[in-house]
């Protein structure tokens, strides 16, 4: 048998194909993850200030949690959910959004009400990937269950607004509306169905086929054909009962009382079936119109019951982290750079074999400093380059001579004046000297 007839790769092993992240997903690496840490940390701190506790739920649930919650006829349930059968024959789904899982946990565990939960989680939807829209995105938000007080709606909205302010967003607008409850919304749906029947051929191609199963979906469509039909149609504001009008007035007056600006948008309908009464959305004027929503939410007074629990009022909001970062970049790079503040205080440079760097790093970390170092017995020049790249404020240098006499050279990596850039200190004074050098660098 000739060599050429042997199977390809028989004599020489082939290089395995390089694997990459799945389409519609992305890796968050250290040069950008600091911004994520700051966003999540700021939200965590504020959620605790507002009296919320962290809740963690599984990334996958019984598919019924989402079919009942967001609606089997919703675009997410019909076209975007990742659904699979496990080895036990159970039909499960990766979480497409945060609220339904939190409410399922509430129904299952029966906590004392009002129950105030915050969360941060990945969510999964099979969408066409584009800027700010991914097949795995990350969401943070809050939910309050067990009270129908309209001032709870105000508290939830105000937390979102103050959070956006805290991270530096300024070109944000709050749009609010009321979808009413089942009875008054039912009257509106009858009028809307009549209007859409008369203008069916003017709708976008997709909604010409599916609008009759849930006419409210047309209101949420972003395509111009549907927008024109909806704008010429009935308004849900005209169908609200007196109780829903009173509830909306209390929400809008509460927002005004605490200085949160708002605009009413009577065409605002959130994309999930569980919303009742208050609905709201935060949009960034720095982003393109079709992808300008950075967060939103509303009241869902039937969702707990839909998931098998007792009738329980609820309200909440969620924000996409990727979309928030896009808004920060689009609005003002300076704000984004602040979020990416340096994380390393000290870089240890050791040309004596590495043992001294090991001990110094441990000592400084135990005293509260963020410390990095080089490995692999690199030269002084190479390690100093690494120190500059690290973003550290201070470097401490140890060579054979310093080791022999018990000293350390401390260098201010941010100093402009070369003559005052470094000095020699006793090793036993390293903690105080580093603290002083960092304070000097900050001033």
Q: Which of 309, 336, 363 is the last residue of a domain?
A: 336
Long-range contacts for 86-92 (Cβ within 8 Å, ≥24 apart)?
Answer: 90/62, 91/62, 91/63, 92/60, 92/61, 92/62, 92/63
The residue written with tokens 């960034």 in the block is 284
- What is residue 388's predicted lDDT score, i.e. its pLDDT? 87
Q: Closest Cα partner for 260 from 389, 156, 341?
A: 156
Which residue did the predictor score with more confidence, 257 or 15?
257
Which of 312, 336, 360 marks a domain boundary?
Answer: 336
What is the pLDDT, as a whole number, of residue 31?
Answer: 79
In this structure, the answer to whether residues 328 and 352 fall within a common structural domain is no
Distance CA 169, CA 335 (A): 8
CATH number at residue 359: 3.40.50.800
Tokens matching residue 139: 């969401």
350, 328: one domain? no
On whether both 363 and 256 belong to a single domain, the answer is: no
Asked if 294 and 397 sit in the same domain, the reply is no
Q: Is residue 381 part of a domain?
A: yes
Which of 45-49, 67-71, 90-94, 250-254 is predicted with the least confidence, judged by mean pLDDT?
Answer: 67-71
- Whether residue 304 sits in one domain with residue 359: no
Residues 398 and 298 in one domain: no
Backbone torsion region of residue 391, taken as left when φ is above 0, otherwise alpha when ψ lies between -120 and 50, otherwise beta: left
pLDDT of residue 340: 46
Residues 314 and 429 in one domain: no
Q: 150-166 vs 30-49: helix axis angle to the nearest 10? A: 150
Identify whether the C-beta of residue 410 lies closer than 8 Å to the C-beta of residue 423: yes
Mean pLDDT of the chain: 87
Q: What is the pLDDT of residues 122-169, one digit of tens each?
A: 999 998 877 768 899 999 999 999 999 999 999 999 999 999 999 999
Q: Is the pLDDT higher at 405 or at 207?
A: 405
Supply the pTM of this predicted model.
Answer: 0.85
For residue 147, the domain's CATH number is: 3.30.930.10
Q: 432 is in which domain, residue-wise?
A: 346-442
Instruction: Map tokens 């040069």 to a residue.
Output: 31
Complete DSSP assignment for 121-145: EEEE-----BTTB-SEEEEEEEEEE
Specify whether 325 is located in the same domain as 351: no
299, 401: one domain: no
Which is more confidently placed, 221 or 432? 432
pLDDT 10s digits, 202-218: 788 777 676 777 777 77
């Amino acid at each position: 048998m000739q060599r050429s007839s042997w199977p390809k790769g028989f004599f020489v092993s082939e290089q395995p194909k390089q694997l990459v992240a799945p389409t519609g997903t992305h890796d968050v690496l250290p040069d950008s993850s600091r911004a994520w840490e700051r966003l999540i940390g700021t939200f965590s701190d504020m959620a605790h200030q507002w009296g919320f506790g962290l809740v963690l739920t599984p990334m996958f649930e019984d598919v019924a949690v989402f079919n009942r919650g967001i609606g089997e006829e919703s675009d997410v349930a019909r076209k975007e959910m990742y659904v699979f059968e496990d080895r036990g024959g159970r039909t499960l789904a990766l979480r497409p959004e945060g609220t339904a899982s939190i409410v399922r946990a509430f129904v299952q565990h029966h906590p004392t009400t009002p129950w105030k939960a915050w969360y941060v989680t990945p969510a999964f939807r099979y969408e066409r990937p584009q800027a700010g829209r991914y097949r795995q995105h990350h969401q943070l938000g809050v939910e309050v269950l067990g009270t129908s007080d309209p001032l709870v709606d105000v508290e939830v909205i105000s937390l979102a607004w103050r959070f956006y302010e805290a991270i530096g967003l300024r070109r944000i607008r709050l749009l609010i509306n009321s979808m009413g409850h089942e009875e008054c919304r039912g009257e509106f749906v009858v009028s809307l169905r009549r209007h859409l029947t008369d203008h069916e051929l003017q709708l976008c191609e997709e909604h010409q086929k599916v609008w009759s199963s849930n006419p409210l979906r047309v209101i949420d469509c972003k395509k111009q054909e549907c927008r024109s039909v909806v704008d010429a149609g009935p308004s849900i504001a005209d169908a609200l009962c007196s109780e829903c009008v009173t509830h909306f007035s209390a929400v809008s007056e509460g927002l005004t009382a605490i200085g949160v600006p708002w605009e009413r948008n009577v065409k605002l309908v959130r994309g999930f079936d569980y919303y009742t009464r208050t609905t709201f959305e935060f949009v960034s004027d720095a982003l393109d119109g079709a992808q300008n929503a950075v967060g939103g939410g509303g009241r869902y007074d039937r969702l707990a019951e839909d998931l098998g629990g007792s009738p329980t009022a609820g309200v909440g909001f969620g924000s996409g982290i990727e979309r928030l970062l896009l808004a920060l970049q689009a609005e003002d790079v300076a704000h984004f750079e602040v979020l990416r503040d340096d994380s390393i205080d000290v870089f240890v440079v050791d040309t004596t074999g590495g043992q001294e760097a090991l001990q110094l790093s441990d000592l400084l970390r135990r005293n509260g400093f963020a410390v990095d170092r080089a490995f692999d017995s690199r030269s002084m020049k190479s390690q100093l380059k690494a120190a500059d790249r690290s973003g550290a404020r201070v470097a401490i240098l140890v060579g054979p001579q310093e080791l022999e006499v018990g000293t350390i050279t401390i260098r201010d990596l941010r100093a402009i004046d070369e003559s005052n850039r470094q000095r020699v200190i006793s090793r036993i004074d390293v903690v105080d000297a580093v603290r002083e050098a960092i304070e000097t660098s900050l001033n």
